[in-house]
Structure 1
Amino acid sequence: MRISSAGLFLAIAAISRAPVANAERVLSSTSLNTCQENSGFTASRFNVVFTPNNASVFVNMLAVSSIESHVVFDIAIFIYGYEFMRRTINPCDTGFAGFCPMTAGKTSTPFNLFLNKDAVDQIPTIAYTFPDLDAKVRVFINSTDGSSAGHSVACVETNISNGKTVDLLGVKWAAAIVTGLALLSSAIFSGLGHSNTASHVAANALSLCSYFQAQAIVGLVRISLPPVVQAWTQDFQWSLGIIKVAFLESIYTWYQRATGGTPSELFSSLAQVSVQVEKRALHMVRPALDLFESATARLPVAAHSLARRADTTQTSSGSYVITGIPRVAFRALIETTNIFMTGVIFFWIILLATIVFVAAFKGLCEAFVKAKWMRGDIFQDFRNGWRTVLKGILFRISLIGYAPIAILCLWQLAERDSAAEVVLAIGFFLGLTGTLAWASYKVIRIAKRSVTLHKNPAYILFSDLHTLNKWGFLYIQFRASAYYFIVPVLGYTLLKAIFIAFASGAAQAIALIIIEAAALIAATVLRPWMDKKTNSFNIAICVVNFLNAIMLLIFTEIFNQPPLATGIVGVVLWILNAAFTLVLLIMLIITTTLVFFHGNPDGRYQYMADDRTSFMKSQSQLNTTTELDALGAAARGDGRGGFASELELHSEVQHPEKQSLSSDRWHVPNEYTHQAPSVASSGHEPHTPITSVTPTQPAHPSDGLDTQNNASPHVFRAENNASPWQRGAGYEH
C-alpha cells in the first residue's frame, strides 16, 4: 500500500486539542491544492475524513508524483491565519512505504491511517465546534538528495472543515418568510383602511429587505473572504434572486447553447476535478491531462468558459482562483454561466406570481361579497381600484428587485455569456431603470404641483387615492417634505451595482466605503423617513453597512496586516451582522404581531407631523374629531362623494381658473374663523367661503355659500398665517 503525503499531512492536521463530545465529530477536506509553481505532487481528487472517536483517517484520492528522491515533510498548521504549529517529519523514520525514497507515479488506492492517542488529544475544541472553521494545513516536500537538497520540490495545502456552517437553509427561510409576511401584512392593513399602520410596516419590511441585499452584495465582491463571511453572506443570496431550481438550470444551459454561448461545466466535471472554497478564494485544480484521457473532450470547454471570466485567473499549474459572483454561484450549486438568467428569471417569476395572486384575491373578494360571506365595505378601495393597486405593488417589487437586476445585468455586459443574454441584460436594465426613473419624476412633479397649489406636498401625494396607490411605493416611507429622497436611494443602488459589476476588489472596497459613508451622512443629517423610530431603524442599518465596507477593505490586505487579524475581522463581521439581523427580525415580528391584536392598529403609531393622515382615507382617522380631520375630509371631497383624480389635479395646473379644488370647494371648520384677530377686530366679516360646520362633517358646496363674496382661501390664510396644512416637520420654512 502506498501512502501519500496528503494522507500524512491530514494526520498531522489533527494536531489540536479538545475533549470528546457526545455527538460524532469529524474533520474533513475535499480538495488538495498546490501552493508553489511547478509542484512535483498534485491531486485531482482528494477526500479525507478524520474521525477522532476511533482515531482513524480515511483517504481517497487520485494523485500523481514526479519526485524521485529522499524527502522530508515540513508541515505547518494555520488557524485563522495564525501558525498554530510547525513540524518536520522524515518519512523514513515513520516507516511510510513509498516515501522513503519518494518515487514517481500515480496513487489511486483508498486507505486508512490510525493516529495515536496523543495526537488526538491535542485537537482543540474549536476544531470541532466553531462553524466555518478557518483552518489550513500546508505541507512543503523538501528534497534531501543532490543539488536540490534543502529545496522544496512540492507544496500542497488544504482547508479543514468540521462540517458545521452558518450557511443554513433555516436561516434563509426564516429571513425570507418574516420579510414576506411583513409585506403581506402591510397590504392587508392598507386594504382594511389602516393606512398609517400599513405604511409603517411596509417601510420597516422594505428597509430590512434592503439590508439583506446589502449583506448578500458583500459576498459578491472580488475580494478574498474568510470562510465564515462567505457562508454568512450566502444566507441572503435569495434576496438577489440567486436560488437554484434544478429544471430551470437545465433550461438556462440549453438557452445559452442555443444562442451561441458556451456554458461552464464545473459541476459535471467534479468526478475528475477537485474543488475547494477556501479563505483566499475558490481553487479548481485541473489534473494533468495524461491522467484523465476520458475527460479531455470536456475539460477544455469548462476551462475556457471559466478562464475568460473577469472573476477567474489561472495559475501555471492549471488551477483556477475564482472570486466574486462566480464564487457565490458555486456555493449555490449554480453554474457560473447560469447565474444571470437565474436572478433575472426569478424576478419575473415573482412579478407574474404577484399578478396572479392579486387578480385571484380580487375575484375571491367579489365572490365572498356576492355570497354575503363578507361585508361589502371590506377591501372596498382595493376592489374598486384593484388595477391601480396592482400597478403599485408591481412598482414596489421593481424597487426591491432593482439592486439584483442592475448588478447581474451590468455584470453580464462584461461577461457576455451569449449574444441573446447580452440583449436581455440591456433590455432589462434599461427597462427597469427607466421605469423607476419615470416613477420618480412623476412623484416629484406631483409634489411640486401640490406645493404650488396648496403650499404642502402632502396634499396631493396623500389625498389623491390614485396617486397614493400607484406611486406611493416611492415616497410613503419618507416624510412628505422628503418626497425626493427616492432619487438618492436609486442613485445609491445604481452606484453599488456599477462597482460590483465592473471594478476590481480594492476599488470595490474603497468605493463601497465612500458610498456607504455618504448614505450614512445623508440619513443622519436629513432624517428623511416618516418618523423618529423609522429613522433610527434605517440609520442603524446604514451604520452596519458602513462597518461592513470598512471590514471589506481590511480583507483586501491593503494594510498588510497579519493573517490572524484578517481572520478575527471575519469573525467580527459575522457576529455583528448575525446579532443585528436577529434584533431587526425580532423587532419586525413583535411590532407586526402586536398590531393584529390591537383594537385600533393606527393608534399604535404616532401620526406623522406632515399631516398626511388628514388627507388619507383611513377609517380610524375618520372617526376622530380633530381639526385636521375636517380639513382632510373637505380636501378629499368626501362631501361630494370621492377623491380628486389625477386628471383633475393635472387640469388645475393647465387651467387655474377651473381648479377642481378651488375656493368654492374648500370648507374649513368654524373654529378657524377665530384665528384671524386682525380681520375680526376691524369690524368686518371676512370674505371667505368658511361656513359653520362641525369638525367631523364638512359642508357641502351647496350649503349656503355666499358666491358673491367668495374670496380665495389662499389669500385669507396668507393674510392671517393660519394655514393648518403648513404645520409639521419640514414645513416651518
Structure 2
Amino acid sequence: MRLCSTLSRVSVALALLIPAVSADRVFASSSLDVCQTNSSFTSSLFNIVFTPDNKTLSINVNGNSDVTGNVTFEVHASVYGYTFLRETLDPCTLGLSTLCPLSQIETSFDATYTNISSSFISRIPGIAYQIPDLDAIVTVYLYDKTAPTVSLACVRLRISNLKTVNQVGVRWATGIIALIGFASSALVSALGYTNTAAHMMLYALSLFSYFQAVAIIGLCGVPLPPIVQAWAQDMSWSLGIIKVHFLQKFATWYQLATGGHPSTILTTLGTKSVQVAKRSIEAAHSLSQRSATIASTASGEYIVTGIDRVAYLENMEPTNLFFTSLTFYCIFVIFSLLVVGIFKAVCELAIRQNRITSNSHLYHIVRNDWRATLKGVIFRVILIGYLPMALLSLWEFTQNDSPAEIFLAVIFFFGMTAALGFAAFKVFQIAKRSQQLHHTPAYLFYADAVVLNKWGFLYTQFRASSYFYLAPTLGYILVKAAFVGLGQKSGVTQAIALIIIEAAALIGASVLKPWMDKTTNGINISICVINFLNAIFLLIFTNVFNGPGLLIGVVGVIFFIMNVVFALVLLLVVLFAVALSFIRKDPETHYQPVADNRASFIKSQTALSTELASLGVTARGEDHLDKEYGNFNNPDMTRHHQNNSYSNANHRDSSSIPGTPQSPAYMSPAHQAIENEKLGHGYQGSEGTLARLNAEGQGGGGFVNQGALRVESPSISSRSQSQNSNRPAGNSPWQRGAGYS
C-alpha cells in the first residue's frame, strides 16, 4: 500500500512540472501502465486526481508487488517525448519507514490527501493548465539496492489536465456544414443550376471524404499521441460512431438476443483500469494481443487500441460499435428518402396550384424524371456510406459479436459493393455506347435526364473523358477499408498499406487531373496530399524507426495543426459556395463552363417539341436504345433522347471540326437522308412531315443546342420557307459543309 501511495505521490509531483492539459485546473491519470515484461509490480486499477487549487490528491489503487528488501526509485518525466527530468529517490533517506525495507504487499487502496506541498504547486507553469491533450508522461523504475542495474518493475503514468480538442461543438459544426453543403447542392440542382450544383456537391463530398480519412487514422491499431487521437475522434461522427444512450442499450440487448456476448469494459471501470493505446506503451501492448475479445494484461487491465480505442473514447462498448454505426447509417438513409419525399409532395402541391409551370425544370423532375431521381438519391447515399460500412463490416467478420451481426455485415458489405459495382458497369456501358454514336461520352451522360439523375452520382464530378476514374476511386475505398478493418493486429502493416494507397491516389490525381476544372482538381489533389502526409505521420507514430520520443511528439503537434488549418479551409470553401449559390441571381456565372460542354447537352433535353421528337423516334426506329438505358419508363424523355441522339450519330464534337470552332454541329437534309440510308433507318413520314423537317431558315425557334438536329419551328410561314430555299448556298452559315458542297 505504501509503495503504491509513494509512487503516486512522486509521479504526480513530477508530473506537475509538465505542461499538462486540463479544463478546470485538474491533473489526473486513469491507468498505471506496465512498461516492462516480468514486472514485479502490477495494478489492475489506478486512478489519481490532483487539484492544485485545494491541494488535494485522491488515489484509488488495486495492485500487488512481490519485491522485498531495500529498493530505490528512478523517476523520468517527459513532455512530448522530451525527457526533462531524471531523479533517483531512496525511501530510506526520505524517511519512509514503511518502504525501508520493502516487504511483499497486496493492496486495495482508496485515500485522499489534503496536505500536498505548495512548493510543488508553485512550480507548475501556467501553460500547463491550457494546452489541450498534452503528451505528458511520468515513468518510475524500481531497483534493488544490491543490484542497481537490474530493473525489478516499471510503471508509467500519463498525466492529463482534462483539456482536449475532442469537443462536441467541433463535431456539430463540421457535421452541420457538410449537411448544408449536400442539401444546398440538391436544392440548387432542382432549381436547374446544374453547373453550380455539381460544384457544390463535389465540395461537400470532398469535405466529407476528408473527414472520414482523418477518422480512419484513429481506427488504425497504432499508438497515437493524445492530440492526434483526440482530433481523429472529433471526426468519428462521419463514420456513424456516435454515442446515444438508448441506442447503446438496444445494441447490447440485440447482441444478447442473437447469441452474442457483449464486452463489459464500461461496467467494470470501478475495479479495472483501461490502457488506451497511445504513444510509448508498446511494451504493455505486447503483453496481450486482441483477438475476438478485449485484450487484458496479466494484472487484469484492459488494453484498447484501434477500433476498440475509438469505441472506448466514445464511451461505448467495443462490441456495440458496428451495430451503432450501421444504425446511424440506416437513419441517414431513411432521413434522406424522407426529405426527398417531402420535397416531391411540396412540388406536387405547387404544380396543382400552378406555381410551378409545365416548362420549368422542377416540373420535369417531379413528373417525368421522378423514379430515376429517387434511384439516384439511393445510389448517392450508398456511395456516401460505403467506406464506413465496408470497413466496419470487414472488421465485424473478425470479431463475431453475434451471428445476427455477422449476417448484417454480409448483407451490407456485399450488397453495397454489388450496387456500386453495377452502377459503375452501367456508366462504362453508357460511355461506350455514347462514344460509338457521338464520339464523346458526354452526350449520353448529360443529354439523357434519366441517365444523369440515376447514374450521374458516379461521374458528374469528373470530366466526361475521365469517367473511368470512378473505377480506381471505388477500388481505393474498398482496399483502404480492407486494410484498416482486417489489419487491426498490425499497426505497422496498416501504416505501410495506407502510405502505398494514398501515394497511388496522389499520383493518379496529379497526373490525370480527372475532376471538372482547375479549382476542383486543386481541392481534391490537396486532399490527396494531406492524406498522404497523414499516412506518413501514422508510420512515424508506430515507432518502427525507433526514433527519439521528441520526434513523435513534435510530429503529433504538426499533424494536429496541419489538419485543423486544412479542415477550416475546406469548411470555408463549402460555406462560400453555398452563400454564392443563394446570393447571386444567376449562380452559374460564378463557374466557368466545364470543358466537356455538358451544359449544352443538358439544355438540349427540352429543346424539341413533343410532336417533332415523336416523329424522330418513329422515323429512326431507335427504341432499342431506350431499353438499354432505362428510358422506356419515361416516354417524354425517351422521345427527347432519341431525337437528340440521332442528330449526333457518327459526328464529332463541333470543337473538333476545323473551321467551325464552338459552333453547333449540323447535318443538312440531304446529308441526313444519306446517313439514314447507311444506318438502314430511312424516313417513313408524309410529305408534309418531310417538308417541315427539311425547312431551313434563320428565324426558326425550335432547335437543339450543340450537336442536336436543327428543326424549323412549325409556326414559320411558307413564304419564309420559300425565301430560304431560294437563297444561294453559302449565304447562310447553316448551309455550309456536307450536303452543300
Do the structures match in fold with TM over 0.5?
yes
- Note if 1:692 corresponds to 2:697: yes
Deviates more, 1:590-599 or 1:378-387: 378-387
Could you say which residue in structure 1 is the equivalent of 2:180?
181
Mapping of residues 293-308 of structure 1, within 5 Å = 307-308=290-291
Could you say which residue in structure 1 is the equivalent of 2:107?
106
Q: Distance in 2 between matches of 1:659 and 1:127?
A: 68
Q: What is the TM-score when the length of structure 1 is the normalising length?
A: 0.82
- Note if 1:121 corresponds to 2:97: no
Query: What is the RMSD of the two structures over their aligned residues, measured on CA atoms?
Result: 3.9
Check the 8 A contact 2:71/2:90 in 1, yes or no. Answer: yes
- Counterpart AA for 1:326: D
Could you say which residue in structure 1 is the equivalent of 2:563?
577
Could you say which residue in structure 2 is the equivalent of 1:347?
329
SS of the equivalent of 1:219 reads helix
Tell me by how many angstroms 1:438 deviates: 0.4
Change (3 A) 1:414 1:20: closer
Aligned match for 1:363, one of 345, 352, 360: 345
- Counterpart AA for 1:359: G
SS of the equivalent of 1:44 reads strand
- Note if 1:519 corresponds to 2:505: yes
Deviation digits for residues 641-699 of structure 1 (CA, Å, limit 9, x no counterpart): 99999966346999xxx99337986799xx9999689xxxxxx9964558224586425
Tell me by how many angstroms 1:121 deviates: 3.2
Could you say which residue in structure 2 is the equivalent of 1:197?
196
Could you say which residue in structure 2 is the equivalent of 1:219?
218
Change (3 A) 1:659 1:616: closer
Aligned match for 2:625, one of 649, 654, 660: 649
SS of the equivalent of 1:92 reads coil
- Note if 1:379 corresponds to 2:376: no
Could you say which residue in structure 1 is the equivalent of 2:53?
53
Change (3 A) 1:54 1:203: same
- Counterpart AA for 2:120: A
Mapping of residues 556-575 of structure 1, within 5 Å = 556-575=542-561
Q: Distance in 1 between matches of 2:499 and 2:700?
A: 52
Could you say which residue in structure 2 is the equivalent of 1:544?
530
Tell me by how many angstroms 1:430 deviates: 0.9
Could you say which residue in structure 1 is the equivalent of 2:689?
none
Aligned match for 1:590, one of 561, 565, 576: 576
Tell me by how many angstroms 1:473 deviates: 0.5
Deviates more, 1:371-380 or 1:334-343: 371-380
Deviates more, 1:60-69 or 1:449-458: 60-69
SS of the equivalent of 1:273 reads coil
Change (3 A) 1:641 1:45: farther
Q: Distance in 1 between matches of 2:622 and 2:67?
A: 81
Could you say which residue in structure 1 is the equivalent of 2:466?
482
- Note if 1:153 corresponds to 2:152: yes
Q: Distance in 1 between matches of 2:301 and 2:609?
A: 68
Change (3 A) 1:5 1:212: same
Q: Distance in 2 between matches of 1:637 and 1:456?
A: 26
Deviates more, 1:540-549 or 1:8-17: 8-17
Check the 8 A contact 1:137/1:160 in 2, yes or no. Answer: yes
Tell me by how many angstroms 1:44 deviates: 3.2
Change (3 A) 1:643 1:566: farther
Check the 8 A contact 2:77/2:86 in 1, yes or no. Answer: yes
Could you say which residue in structure 2 is the equivalent of 1:265?
264
SS of the equivalent of 1:85 reads strand
SS of the equivalent of 2:642 reads coil
Tell me by how many angstroms 1:125 deviates: 4.1
Aligned length: 669
Check the 8 A contact 2:222/2:542 in 1, yes or no. Answer: yes
Deviation digits for residues 591-639 of structure 1 (CA, Å, limit 9, x no counterpart): 211221101011111111111000114xxxxxxxxxxxxx676579796
Change (3 A) 1:666 1:236: closer
Q: Distance in 2 between matches of 1:517 and 1:307?
A: 30
Q: Distance in 1 between matches of 2:60 and 2:317?
A: 26
Q: Distance in 1 between matches of 2:361 and 2:268?
A: 58
Q: Distance in 2 between matches of 1:222 and 1:646?
A: 57
Tell me by how many angstroms 1:190 deviates: 0.8
Tell me by how many angstroms 1:364 deviates: 2.6
Mapping of residues 648-727 of structure 1, within 5 Å = 649-650=625-626, 660-661=642-643, 687=671, 691-694=696-699, 697-698=702-703, 700=711, 703=714
Could you say which residue in structure 2 is the equivalent of 1:501?
485
Check the 8 A contact 1:228/1:571 in 2, yes or no. Answer: yes
- Counterpart AA for 1:511: A
Q: Distance in 2 between matches of 1:466 and 1:643?
A: 19
Deviation digits for residues 217-264 of structure 1 (CA, Å, limit 9, x no counterpart): 111111111111111111111111111222222222222222222211
Check the 8 A contact 2:20/2:135 in 1, yes or no. Answer: no
Check the 8 A contact 1:209/1:239 in 2, yes or no. Answer: yes
Check the 8 A contact 1:282/1:320 in 2, yes or no. Answer: no
SS of the equivalent of 1:109 reads strand
Deviates more, 1:313-322 or 1:597-606: 313-322
- Note if 1:333 corresponds to 2:345: no
Aligned match for 1:446, one of 423, 426, 430: 430
Change (3 A) 1:101 1:113: farther
- Note if 1:535 corresponds to 2:521: yes
Change (3 A) 1:531 1:696: farther
- Unaligned 5+ residue runs, structure 2? 631-639, 662-667, 673-693, 704-709, 723-732
Could you say which residue in structure 2 is the equivalent of 1:298?
none
Q: Distance in 1 between matches of 2:388 and 2:461?
A: 21
Q: Distance in 1 between matches of 2:6 and 2:440?
A: 77
Q: Distance in 2 between matches of 1:642 and 1:118?
A: 96
- Counterpart AA for 1:379: L
Check the 8 A contact 1:275/1:284 in 2, yes or no. Answer: no
- Note if 1:469 corresponds to 2:453: yes
Tell me by how many angstroms 1:465 deviates: 0.8
- Counterpart AA for 1:111: T
Tell me by how many angstroms 1:141 deviates: 2.6
Q: Distance in 2 between matches of 1:44 and 1:326?
A: 19
Q: Distance in 1 between matches of 2:168 and 2:180?
A: 18
Change (3 A) 1:563 1:643: farther
Check the 8 A contact 2:622/2:642 in 1, yes or no. Answer: no
Could you say which residue in structure 2 is the equivalent of 1:34?
34
Change (3 A) 1:149 1:537: closer
Tell me by how many angstroms 1:320 deviates: 4.1
Change (3 A) 1:307 1:651: closer
